[in-house]
Structure 1
Amino acid sequence: MAEEESKKVITKKHLARLEKEQIQRRYLLTGVSIALFLVIALIVYGILDQFVFQNQRPVATVGTDKITVGQYQARVKYSRWELIQQYNRTLQMAELFGGLSSDNGSYFQNSLSQITSQLDNPTYMGENVLEAMIEERVIEQEAAKLWITITDEELNKAMEEAFGYYANGTPTAEPTYAFSFAPTSTLSRTQLAIVTITPTPTEAPTATEMPTATQAPTSTPLSVTPTSTVESTPLPTETPYTFEGYQKTSQEYLAKIKDTGMTEAELRYAIKSSLLRTKMTEKITSDVSHKEDQVWARHILLEDEQKAKDTLARIQKGEAWDILAKELSKDTSSSASGGDLGWFGKGKMVAEFSDAAFALKIGEISQPVKSSFGYHIIQVLGHEERELSAADYATKQQTTFNDWLEKSKTELGVKKNDISNITPKEPILESAAQ
């Protein structure tokens, strides 16, 4: 009886309280589980954002194509790595020529300073890298429209040659096209009346001055022929560079750049882009003429309009042009030759000068023409279509291609995002960091 009285009586109220406590514990456990899950999810997201999602975000878009942060950062790191290699090679070359303190030291020091300047300005370098990547995408999309492609065979060949391997032997350099320059046409009576002292137009290289197939260095090794008095020491036989050697060299190179994030696929893409650019340049500039409308002019440059007007009045009264040019012209590069500028095409001079010169007739003298240099009095001595030099033709091709490229960018639509916080600053130049 006593034992029964000692037992606690479990009432309905007590059961309700126990049930309530169990529910509260379940809620608490559920809340803790949810909180823990959210914390883990945030940590995982942070890791994925840093190593996956962020790398996939676009740093720029070209049409419908995007350049990801990962691709951009890998290319910047690779570009920095290349600059560092260039720095080290330049330093080694300087040592071969006596070091940076030698007579040649200033030349090498200037080269090293240019490299360190680029490495020390990552944002500027990043902008240049991104612009190059944008151009690659533009060229790739425009090439596809014209059915211009790079075959696997072409890409493999270029990849091999980038590492110095030539399956069919080292090619002989192709001769540069030798332009035949048309001589200045015989001076007319008008021109003969204008020129009191025969001016010498800007010299244009002749066909004999251009590199020819025989002048161009070839890959033929230098052979040493022994004389009857001096017995030559046989040179060591060069080890043949085989395909296996190329594979080893390329894999060693890829291992060196692995830390930059540049993969073999991305390296091949860069080489493919270079090949596409060459093909597109040939396509876009195929109709660029080797000839150009040019004028032969002379001028006198004065610092203000009144002096220009006074000088023009003296010319109109019959004073000799060449004497006035030597006496008054502020253009010291041409004053000694009577202000003779030789032959030039449109766009070679500042716009105001060029427009005025091409609008004049042979022998005609302009009113004072204002430019950023001062006031010019211009006289045209000749106007004809002339053949371009190799250098001028290459410049004209490049200008034509660049104009096409800018137009294509506008048509496709290019959008660039801020790169200031995502541009890598490594790898760094060890000597600069120490």
Structure 2
Amino acid sequence: MLIDVVMPQMGESVAEGTVVTWLKKVGEHVAKDEPLVAISTDKVDVEIPSAAAGVLAKIVVHEGGTAPVGAVLAHIDEASHAGAVQPGRPVMTQEEGVKAAAPPAGWYSPAVLELAKEHGVDLTQVKGTGAEGRVTRKDLLDFIARRSQTPAAARRVSPESPTPPAEDRILPISPMRRAIAEHMVRSRRTAAHVTQIHEVDMTAIDRYRHAHHDAFFGETGVTLTFLPFVVKAAADGLRAYPLMNASYTREGIIVKQAVNIGIAVALDEGLIVPVLREADKKSFLTLAKQLADLAARSRDKRLSLEEVHDGTFTVNNFGALGTMIGTPIIVQPQAAILGLGKVVKRPVVIDDTIVIRSMAYLCLSYDHRLIDGAYASAFLNHVQATLQEFDFSIVR
């Protein structure tokens, strides 16, 4: 009996995945739940376990190929695992099985062919590192990158010849970057984006951080940043204003009961949003520890599938990168995203007196299809008041 290996659903905003590496060859035995294939998406790189014990009979989507969620990637033969042999059918050795099931020489995956056509690459010039020497998508991307880095090396220019104009570099688009681009465009096309900005006085929190930074780190091993304060304030605000924790659908507005806050984490190759589940039920210390852990594992690509989907609201601390004001794009199908700008000291007027305070901007982008300006302002006022009057007794 043949068992299909399918591209799993890896988050409600993930529509496809790219096969990075097959961990088994055709003809090899695989145990149930044994890692079988490595998949890459815009959110996470993950190893997919085998759904059954048997022999990998056929690979449908080869390394470098991209397939939509639910597509068949390969077939596992359970009968081969059980030792069953069909009457009249000769027993095939593992080596013969590999040869019989392997694609013919000169075969290229659709993804490789499309990328080669896009960049004008002669695939016969690319050395393949895949099974049977096939050219994988990674082989082609590496070839394109090397070619774009030395465009002038292949040309001979005499000393008398004028200096040729510099050539533009063509950088290959990674699966993560392509998926991010598609999601951003889809979000702008889907939701009626509006951004409102409130100023928040972070002086009390800034002073607390400086006064307790060393002690907090010594006790917890975690750096005391602004982020857990903002996440705590946002979680409280989502409980007070539940439409901010909702989604717009044709059937109606779905108000989510769980407060699962996604945290935007910048990576060298893009952006990922791991999810902090039931944030409204967690203590400040738990929030701080889990935020640090999620950020670290995001950068090391050690997140699980469950940690990158089912978010109901997103917080983006772009102030950590020096940005003062931003207009973040909503993570679909959520209703809103909150950005925190850089906390800086500047003069402000309080009771007709000019004083120096630590100030920042709270930037809220929301879907105007289900949230109006007054409601968004009320939510921002709640978050602002929580931060400015923060109860520091809950920190430790």
Is the TM-score greater than 0.5? no
- Larger strand share, 1 or 2: 2
- Larger helix share, 1 or 2: 1
Bigger relative contact order (CA 8 A; separation at least 6): 1
Larger Rg: 1
